[in-house]
């Protein structure tokens, strides 16, 4: 990821994402409906749909891992690859991230990736989660989250790593870090991201209580930047994007780096320890039991 000034600030020692790829269909390019030239061609993968608009330099990236866009290992990997592809293409300056699944932006970690799995799998999964966060948090592109559905936990991590958040005004679309309610704890880098966004006291309260904020409260606490009627989420995200793109890239990118680097560096310095910590925590019998019980509750809630 090169800055306009030639400075590169994305961590270079990140995982090679394609090493994680299993059975995906990346790199597929197809014409968008009614599309013609390059600017109207879609590409992406099974779980990430990318609609690039070369004329504006903005791509819309849609999560499509039904039913709830849970962050499976495949989805994490495909997101990193799509992001990298856009970053390496000088045509693009911004991404609008949104959901292709009705009513849910992203349900967070795919609990089936950490329930009843062996430590090696949990480690591989957690590294992919770290990777996505690092890539997004330090991206040289402008990332705007168009949050068109529920956005708990890992979904909120994805939204928080964007530069700006627009949330649809629907009381069911709550956003926040509810980890404590599942009996788990947000890692330090997620806590840092929360504090950077809403401040220390609000984070302390919200993290301990596992608060999921409905739109008006999310706006009030500063978790999102705009709350708009559902049918205006996309257009508002585009207007926000235009505001951010009006700033010269090099100045905005270096400022973003200045604001975020210390937080990202903290994880980069202790990435392995963070992975070990995650694995030993989630593999404990007691944590496995609470995760299983939570998953069971979700399954039974249906119908
Ligand atoms: C040291 C430890 C560090 C750990 C830090 C970890 C940081 C991040 C943690 C997380 O992200 S944990 C995950 C937290 N996520 C949630 O609590 C959300 C749970 N889901 C919901 O609340 C709801 O599903 C929803 C997102 C509001 C959508 O509701 P809706 O009514 O539309 O769908 P459902 O009927 O509830 O679900 C459909 C289907 O999907 C399954 N499912 C839902 N969420 C998950 C998930 N996160 N992982 C895996 N599967 C999930 C749900 O069980 C249903 O499955 P089926 O019954 O159809 O089999």
Binning pLDDT at 50, 70 and 90, where does residue 302 land?
low
Could you read off the pLDDT of 80-101 as tens digits, one per residue? 999 999 999 999 999 999 999 9
Catalytic residue among 76, 83, 109, 245: 109
Q: How far is the CA of 243 from the centre of ligand 1 (A)?
A: 34
Which tops the pLDDT comparison, 15 or 286? 286
Q: How far is it, in rounded angstroms, from Cα 21 to Cα 74?
A: 7
Could you read off the pLDDT of 41-91 as tens digits, one per residue? 677 789 999 999 999 999 999 999 999 999 999 999 999 999 999 999 999
Atom of ligand 1 nearest to the CA of 103: 32
Does residue 158 have its Cβ closer than 6 Å to ligand 1? Answer: no
Q: What is the pLDDT of residue 8?
A: 38
- 67: preceding bond cis by omega (within 30 degrees): yes
Q: Is the ipTM of this complex over 0.90?
A: yes
**Residue 109 annotated in active site:** yes
What does each C-alpha distance from 229 to 101, 142, 169, 171, 289 come to in angstroms? 18, 23, 5, 11, 39
Atom of ligand 1 nearest to the CA of 179: 9
Catalytic residue among 20, 179, 210, 223: 179
pTM of the model: 0.90
Q: What are the φ/ψ torsions at residue 189 (nearest 5 degrees)?
A: -75, -25
Sign of CA dihedral 269, 271, 272, 274: positive
**Residue 170 annotated in active site:** no
């Amino acid at each position: 990821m090169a800055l306009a000034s030639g400075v590169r600030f994305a961590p270079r020692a990140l995982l090679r994402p394609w090493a994680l790829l299993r059975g995906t269909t990346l790199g597929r390019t197809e014409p968008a409906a009614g599309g013609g030239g390059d600017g109207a061609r879609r590409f992406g993968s099974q779980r990430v749909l990318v609609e690039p608009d070369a004329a504006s330099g903005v791509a819309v990236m849609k999560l499509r891992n039904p039913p709830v866009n849970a962050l499976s290992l495949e989805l994490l990997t495909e997101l990193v690859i799509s992001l990298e592809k856009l970053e390496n293409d000088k045509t693009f300056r911004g991404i609008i991230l949104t959901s292709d699944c009705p009513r849910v932006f992203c349900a967070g970690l795919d609990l089936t990736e950490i329930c009843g799995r062996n430590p090696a799998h949990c480690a591989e999964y957690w590294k992919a989660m770290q990777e996505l966060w690092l890539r997004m948090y330090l991206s040289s592109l402008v990332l705007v989250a168009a949050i068109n559905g529920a956005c708990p936990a890992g979904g909120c991590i994805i939204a928080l790593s964007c530069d700006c958040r627009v949330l649809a005004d629907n009381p069911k679309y709550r956003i926040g870090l509810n980890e404590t309610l599942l009996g788990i704890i947000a890692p330090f880098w997620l806590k840092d991201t929360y504090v950077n966004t809403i401040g220390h006291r609000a984070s302390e309260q919200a993290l301990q209580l596992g608060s999921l904020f409905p739109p008006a409260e999310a706006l009030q606490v500063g978790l999102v930047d705009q709350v708009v009627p559902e049918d205006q989420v996309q257009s508002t995200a585009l207007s926000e994007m235009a505001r951010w793109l009006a700033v010269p890239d090099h100045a905005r990118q270096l400022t973003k780096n200045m604001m975020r680097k210390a937080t990202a560096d903290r994880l980069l310095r202790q990435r392995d320890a963070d992975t070990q910590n995650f694995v030993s925590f989630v593999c404990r019998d007691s944590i496995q039991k609470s995760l299983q019980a939570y998953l069971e509750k979700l399954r039974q809630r249906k119908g």
